[in-house]
Structure 1
Amino acid sequence: MIFPSQKKNNRTVRVLKTPKIDSSVRKVFIPKSVAQCLIDLKADQDEIKEVLGNEYQDYNLLMATTFGLPIGDSYLRTKMQEIIDALGLPDVVFHSLRHTSVTYKLKLSGGDIKAVQGDSGHAQADMVTEVYGHILDEDRKKNAQLIEDAFYKKENLNPDMKRPDTGKKKIEVPDGIDAEALMKVLNNPEMAAMLAGLAKGVTV
């Protein structure tokens, strides 16, 4: 499909077509929270369609402008920069979200490369290890330290033993939340900084 130009005297058009590479067409499993955001977005869009009537150009796009046309990359960059500035987040480009997604999925899955590859769209699993190998190395270093503590320092010989209480503040994890996965996220400095930035923008 060739979409009409959004500006007068502009020969540049946006084209929607099937990807050249078969692996680019894939099923991606998303969190329930993200799915709910999309449902809410669709509901808002339906209200706009009803108000605009024939003025809305319906191309069956969920991510669209107020009048139904595809969203341009400059719009995405502008909106993302507004969020970064408002919350004091690290200054990154839009494509960085892809790398961030792969990074945390690798860490939360314990290095399940094949599962992450299915979402990232890399044709070969070794592409994931080559680009994100440093992330797996971090976990390998942690494993080495655990071996040091357990077998050489004689600490926590029983894997089921809980770590000693360090006096740190404890939090209760709601039912249905994976406590171990949550702790991995909270222990990551980048994620901690991001959550702190998001907290600044939340009013109670």
Structure 2
Amino acid sequence: MSYILKSVHKLLSCAFGCAEKWELIASNPFKKVTPPKHEYAKKEIWTSEMISRALEVCEDPKISLAIQLSFACSLRIGEVLGLQWKNVFISDEDIEKDNAHIVVEQQLQRLSKKGIDELNVQDILYTFPSATDNESNTTVLVLRKPKTQSSIRTIWLPNTLVQYLREWKEQQNEYKEFFRDEYHDYDMVLCFEDGRPVEHNIIRKGLAKVSEKAGLPPVVFHSLRHSSTTYKLKLNHGDIKATQGDTGHAQADMVTDLYSHILDEDRKINAQKFDESFYQNNGEDNVKRKKDSIDVDKLVASLKDNPDLLDKLLDALK
């Protein structure tokens, strides 16, 4: 609730700020209001070593690919499952130019038919036909636009994941040849052997099996996205904007609030570096003295090799 109130405050403050700028009101009343601070619950996540262990024991390539896409690309589960090959750029030319990437612009979701009609949902891109002829089915599987504009993003791929995707694509082509007219070609990256899209519950159950087999603490799939953000912040030494570009968070403070403990680690390292550079070396004067000090051995060697230089030095001393 506090996060919702904070978001509403930010929206209204911006709107009234514009009204104040346009002189429609005398002052922005929201400047005098302090929004509630949202406390994010600490989530159990896997470390990079744990994810490596999970991938080692994972026997289902669909689950393995889902884990890798979430960890390497910071994707939500709906974004992983909604990814289509038309948005995956892993050609030889892309690899040669170091430009292999994916474009995230949709998500897979199961919605209530009644809810779609009552809310007049406009962001649905594609509705999958029902897998059964059961007319009493009250839900439908759809591809829909992301909730926010910031979620539409380009994410560059690690080379190892690129090769995994290329091999996965080749395997899919073999299934297409095997199933022929029985194959459901929805252009989905993550799908069953016959092309049907993979849903959330399959990934969740698969992740639970991998967790148990690897002897790892149980986590929800969304935790992999948190693991990804944590790992990237460590790699880039707290580069918020670069990390936000991958995660698709609408606000940078979502990253800083959720992962401040990672930034604190880098700040501790900064303190250690400051101590080594300044205090242990007696400050800048000592650094300058080191720079101005003369290497006597090198000077003697230079004078031996260049007698004229020795004569000039003696003249200068006189």
Tell me if structure 2 keeps the 8 A contact 1:5–1:11: no
Of stretches 47-56 and 125-134 in structure 1, the one that deviates more from structure 2 is 125-134
Q: Which residue of 2 aligns with 1:86?
A: 213
Deviations 1:69-117 (A, max 9, x none): 1111110011111221222223211000110111010110011111101
Q: More relative contact order in 1 or in 2 (CA 8 Å, sep 6+)?
A: 2
Q: Which residue of 2 aligns with 1:76?
A: 203
Of residues 46, 50, 60, the one that matches 2:187 is 60
Tell me if structure 1 keeps the 8 A contact 2:191–2:198: yes
Larger C-alpha radius of gyration, 1 or 2? 2
Cα deviation, residue 154, structure 1:
4.5
The ranges of structure 1 where at least 4 consecutive aligned residues each deviate by more than 4 angstroms after the TM superposition are none
2:197 is the alignment partner of 1:43: no
Secondary structure of the corresponding residue to residue 35 of structure 1: helix
Deviations 1:147-191 (A, max 9, x none): 234433449x98xxxxxxxxxxxxxxxxxxxxxxxxxxxxxxxxx
Looking at structure 2, the residues matched to 154 and 8 of structure 1 have their Cα atoms a distance apart, in angstroms, of 78
Tell me if structure 1 keeps the 8 A contact 2:148–2:250: no
What is the TM-score with the length of structure 1 in the denominator?
0.71
Q: Which residue of 1 aligns with 2:130?
A: 5
Determine what percentage of the aligned residue pairs are the same residue: 50
Structure holding more helix per residue: 2
Cα deviation, residue 61, structure 1:
0.8
Tell me if structure 2 keeps the 8 A contact 1:5–1:12: no
Amino acid at match of 2:148: I
Of residues 147, 157, 168, the one that matches 2:274 is 147
Looking at structure 2, the residues matched to 63 and 73 of structure 1 have their Cα atoms a distance apart, in angstroms, of 11
Looking at structure 2, the residues matched to 130 and 86 of structure 1 have their Cα atoms a distance apart, in angstroms, of 33
What is the TM-score with the length of structure 2 in the denominator?
0.46
Tell me if structure 2 keeps the 8 A contact 1:65–1:71: yes
Q: Which runs of 5+ in 1 are unaligned?
A: 159-204
2:236 is the alignment partner of 1:109: yes
Structure holding more strand per residue: 2
Tell me if structure 2 keeps the 8 A contact 1:117–1:125: yes
Residues 116, 37 of structure 1: CA spacing in aligned structure 2 closer, same or farther, 3 A cutoff? same
Q: What is the aligned residue count?
A: 157
